[in-house]
Structure 1
Amino acid sequence: MAKIIPFKAVRPTRDKVSLVASRSYQTYTQAEREARLDYNPFSFLHIVNPGYKYDREISGIERYKLVKNRYLEFKEDNIFVQDQTNCFYVYKIVNREGQVFNGIVAAASAEDYENNVIRKHEDTIVHREHVFKDYLKTVGFNAEPVLLTYPDNSTIQNLISNIQQQRAEFEFTTTYRDTHYLWMIDNQDTINIIQEEFKNMPTVYIADGHHRSASSYLLYKDLKENSTNHNGSETYNYFMSYLIPESELQIHEFNRVVKDLNGLTKEEFLIQLDAIYRIENRGIMPYKPSKKHHFSMYLDGEFYSLYLRKSLYDFKTSLDALDTQILYKTILQPILGIDDLRNDSRITYINGKKDIVNLKSCIDNGEFAVGFGMIPVDIEDMKQIADDGLKMPPKSTFIEPKIRSGVTIYEF
């Protein structure tokens, strides 16, 4: 039984939402951030980067307190206004490629996270979990929802379609050329129907936002343990989520590039690969794999196809069958000497939305020695790994949609 509840979102006013909404802070280059901070006084980046006002870097608890101050200033200036009633929010994104995402912004249950009703497929870094938990505890709000996915449901889909016949509360297009729409659901009967449909779902899955959900869970535990009047209805029992049907989730691969061949010559490297892969030289024309357990490789100006010799590889678990795990276990770790996929500076990840030529350029300019391409992870494989309680290697999936920060805000 998945539990979601409506909440009173803090939102930008209709006339300023396009100016407030921002991508995640880390996705901007320094030049992009500075341009927005210099010329857009309403950007949400002013809240999450409060040190810009004082022309210096600020970190830790001092930064968290200033983030809260900037946020309160946005509320005092009526840039942000809180809804008077609890609502679900239908959120639609049409991206620059014409892909459409329709979902519901709601508060998901921290207890569901604890009880594995909300399932995970990625490992998290404990330090990052606690840092963001402390951040949330200080600032008192969350402005970027966790992306959850659920099995397609005709009742929910019909409700969303009907609501979208009305005028949207928000409609704005970003400089990234994505168009965003938001509708409010404040009708209690409709809210009840949506909640009942989710109660009939035994599980939902985290698609993107594992650290945010883990940190929200830690905050829930912290505040619950230190409350003398805990009753389960407090806002900290939930965290903001964007729930979309599985059929609309877009999963892209992350390709890998490695800086050197771990002391091997090109010929020695190819010979070691031959022990577990059938190798074909594809020449200078870009090559991408089309099947599971097949990889493309770019090395010394040429593309290769790598076909796993399955008789020599042991498929014991759902994780063993995952291409990113196969690449790690057969090449990256034993041949190239990369044990720590998260922290080894010799490996870099390129999201699969970028053309394979981007991978080629990284090798040709001499920054990296070899690159590997693969196909995206299948949604069923992702779910099976989560169901089995296993965790994918880092950067196994690049998932869309990417919702903007500051459009709906959840206060604790």
Structure 2
Amino acid sequence: MAIVKPFQCVRPEESCAHLVAALPYDVYNRKEACEVTAGNPRSFLNIDRPETQFSDDVDTYDSRVYEKANQMLKSWISDGTLQKDPAEAYYIYELIMDGRSQTGIVACSSIDDYAEGIIKKHENTREQKELDRIRHVDTTDAQTGPIFLAYRSKEAINRLVAEVTAERPLYDFTAEDGVTHRVWRIAEQKTVCEIEKAFLGIPATYIADGHHRAASAVKVGFKRREENPGYTGKEPFNFFLSVLFPDDQLMIMPYNRVVKDLNGLSEEAYLKKAEEAFLVEEIGEEAYAPVEKGTFGMYLNQKWYRLTIKEAYRSKDPVKGLDVSILQDQLLAPVLGIEDPRTDKRIDFIGGIRGLKELEKRCREDMAVAFSMVPTSIEELFSVADAGLLMPPKSTWFEPKLRSGLFIHPLSPI
């Protein structure tokens, strides 16, 4: 059963919520983050990426950087930019993108559920990225970026959400990227109890996006337990900030690939090797987005091709059967020499939100070949996680992205 509890939230004052709300810290490099914060001093990215407050000669991971985040968070609470709600509550968070709505419950999930596998993972984490967020959470004494969780849709929860969203929202704004954000607060005790009880009937929740943030929050929680041996299990550090969405509302976009060269092969030799595992068909100059599992678009020398995996190379294994695995195992590794896509600098990954034109652009600029993918499905994600397995890197790209700064979970009283 999943423990999903209400919490005492720090959130933006209503009139500035649209300014504070920021895309996740890890969608920007340092230069891009500096450009955003220079244009909006109230963007929460100022706190999530506090190196933006320093000159480039100060290292991103300098202790002064994390202390600056702590100072700014306290300052924003003091000046009223951020305010603390008087009591524990759940929140409803709706995002609307291109006319499609997804509505989740903002709550705190249990670090014990994470440790015991009730909150399921599908992706590895990198130590350096974990350490950065561990220091950020520990120094600010708060979780500032929600973890995106999914669960198998449940009618009782859907009904409660529909009742709440019929009322006037706390926030209702459309961001510069066209995504609309709406938030409602649930403090009425009867509804709070009904939501908490409904989640107790759900056997598992799944990390959709935010593996590093989740791992970091959990490690801070266990660190705080060691520092407080008399802990009861009810302290805020025993939980982490999350937004939980029903699976039938979620959209995963493809995570496309581009490779720098043909691994020393001529175009003719490369195509011949690709034909060992794939049926290769030339499409022409019109960009091609595959729609069926086991098919791939390939852009090479200003032409698009359709690749279809041959039956002998298909697999029913939940990981090996993924399209990202098929492409890696049958083409990227054996033909193009990309043995470890996590570390090989000859490969790059392009989120589907950027479109196929971005693939063509990269091939004009610095890459030799590009691949368009069919998105991994939420059912595939659940199957991999249920089997206790891990997906290859860059298997899923969720849109729209949750905003940081709309909900903050303090780990100590403010």
Compute the TM-score of the two structures, normalised by the length of structure 1: 0.95
SS at match of 1:244: strand
* Contact 2:125/2:211, CA 8 A, preserved across alignment: yes
Cα RMSD over matched residues?
1.7
Change in 2 beyond 3 A, CA 1:131/1:35: closer
Query: What are the equivalent positions in structure 2 for 1:30-45 lying under 5 Å apart?
Result: 33-34=33-34, 36-45=36-45
User: Matched residues in 1 for 2:380 and 2:54: separation?
Assistant: 48
SS at match of 2:353: coil
- The answer (yes or no) to whether the contact 1:249–1:401 under 8 Å persists in 2 is no
Q: CA deviation at 1:66?
A: 1.1
CA distance, structure 1, for counterparts of residue 40 and residue 125 of structure 2 = 34
Instruction: Classify 1:370/1:9 alpha carbon distance in 2 versus 1 (closer, same or farther; 3 Å).
Output: same
Name the counterpart of 2:66. 64
Pair 1:41–1:213, CA change in 2 (3 A)? same
Q: Could you say if the C-alpha distance between residues 168 and 211 of structure 1 is closer, same or farther in structure 2, counting changes exceeding 3 Å?
A: same
* CA gap 1:304/1:4 in 2 versus in 1, 3 angstroms: same
In the TM superposition, what are the counterparts of 1:45-60 in structure 2 within 5 Å?
45-56=45-56, 57-58=58-59, 59-60=61-62
What residue number does 2:369 align with? Answer: 370
**Aligned mate of 1:73, from 72, 75, 81:** 75
SS at match of 1:206: strand
What are the within-5 Å matches in structure 2 for residues 1-400 of structure 1? Answer: 1-28=1-28, 33-34=33-34, 36-56=36-56, 57-58=58-59, 59-95=61-97, 97-311=98-312, 313=313, 315=315, 317-363=317-363, 365-400=364-399
**Cα distance change of structure 1 residues 106 and 267 upon mapping to structure 2, 3 Å threshold:** same
Counterpart for residue 407 of structure 1: 406
**1:31 Cα deviation from its structure 2 partner:** 7.1
Deviation digits for residues 193-236 of structure 1, max 9, x if unmatched?
A: 11111100111111101111111111122111222211100111
SS at match of 1:297: strand
**Pairwise CA distance, 1:327:** 0.6
Q: Which amino acid aligns with 1:385?
A: V
Deviation at 1:105, TM superposition (A): 0.3
Q: Is 2:48–2:144's contact at 8 Å kept on the other side of the alignment?
A: no
Identity of aligned residues (%): 35
Cα contact 2:172–2:183 (8 A) shared by 1: yes
CA-to-aligned-CA distance 1:333-369 (integer Å, 9 cap, x gap): 1111112212211111111223223212221x14111
TM-aligned CA deviation for residue 317 of structure 1: 2.1
Per the TM alignment, residue 49 of structure 1 is displaced from its structure 2 partner at its CA by: 4.1
Which AA in structure 2 matches 1:272? Answer: K
**CA 29–122 in structure 1, closer or farther in 2 if over 3 Å, else same:** closer
C-alpha distance after superposition, 1:373-409 (max 9, x if no partner): 1101111111111111111111111012311111110
Q: State the number of aligned residues.
A: 409
The DSSP-based 3-state class of the residue aligned with 1:243 is strand
| Change in 2 beyond 3 A, CA 1:51/1:295 | closer
Alpha-carbon distance, 1:35 to partner: 5.1
Distance 1:366 1:170, change over 3 A: closer
The CA distance in 2 between the partners of 1:142 and 1:209, in whole Å, is: 12
Q: Residue 94 of structure 2 contacts residue 182 of structure 2 at CA under 8 Å; is this kept in 1?
A: yes
Deviation at 1:26, TM superposition (A): 4.1
Distance change >3 Å, CA 54–CA 281, structure 1 → 2: closer
Query: In the alignment, residue 156 of structure 2 is paired with which amino acid?
Result: T
Whichever residue aligns with residue 185 of structure 1, its letter is I
Q: Work out whether residues 130 and 218 of structure 1, in 8 Å CA contact, stay in contact via their aligned partners in 2.
A: no
Q: Please give the alpha-carbon distance, in whole angstroms, between the structure 1 residues aligned to 2:19 and 2:54.
A: 22
Query: Structure 1, residues 156-200: CA drift from partner, whole Å, max 9, x if none?
Result: 111111111211111122112211111110011111111111100
Q: Tell me the distance in 2 between the aligned counterparts of 1:104 and 1:67.
A: 27
Evaluate the alpha carbon distance shift between residue 354 and residue 36 of structure 1 in structure 2; reply closer, same or farther with a 3 A threshold. closer
1:290-333 CA-partner distances (Å, limit 9, x unpaired): 2111111111121111111122x262621110010111111111
Residue 73 of structure 1 aligns to which amino acid in structure 2? S
- The one-letter amino acid of 1:361's match is K
Evaluate the alpha carbon distance shift between residue 164 and residue 310 of structure 1 in structure 2; reply closer, same or farther with a 3 A threshold.
Answer: same
CA distance in 1, matches of 2:301, 2:339: 24
CA distance, structure 2, for counterparts of residue 290 and residue 42 of structure 1 = 41
Change (3 A) 1:127 1:15: same
* Aligned equivalents of 2:29, 2:139: Cα separation in 1: 27
Distance in 1, matches of 2:47 and 2:358, equals 34
CA 68–336 in structure 1, closer or farther in 2 if over 3 Å, else same? same
* Unmatched segments (≥5 aa) in structure 2: none
Secondary structure of 1:408's counterpart equals coil
1: CA distance, partners of 2:205 / 2:195: 14
State whether residues 254 and 352 of structure 1, in contact with CA within 8 Å, keep that contact through their aligned partners in structure 2.
Answer: yes
Report deviation, 1:60. 2.7
What amino acid does structure 1 have at the position aligned with 2:367? F
> What is the SS of the residue equivalent to 2:370?
strand
The answer as to whether partners of 1:5 and 1:107 remain within 8 angstroms in 2 is yes
* Residues 24-50 of structure 1: CA deviation (Å, up to 9, x unaligned): 234357776445433433222332344
Amino acid at match of 2:83: V
Q: What is the CA distance between 1:129 and its match in structure 2?
A: 1.9
Aligned residues of 2:33 and 2:52 also touching (Cα < 8 A): no
Distance 2:405 2:275 in 1: 51
In the aligned structure 1, how far is the partner of 2:68 from the partner of 2:101?
Answer: 36
Question: Aligned to 2:261, what secondary structure does the other structure show?
Answer: coil
Q: Which runs of 5+ in 1 are unaligned?
A: none
Normalised TM-score (structure 2) = 0.94
- 2:14 aligns to what SS in structure 1? coil
Report if aligned partners of 2:314, 2:326 keep a CA contact under 8 Å in 1.
no
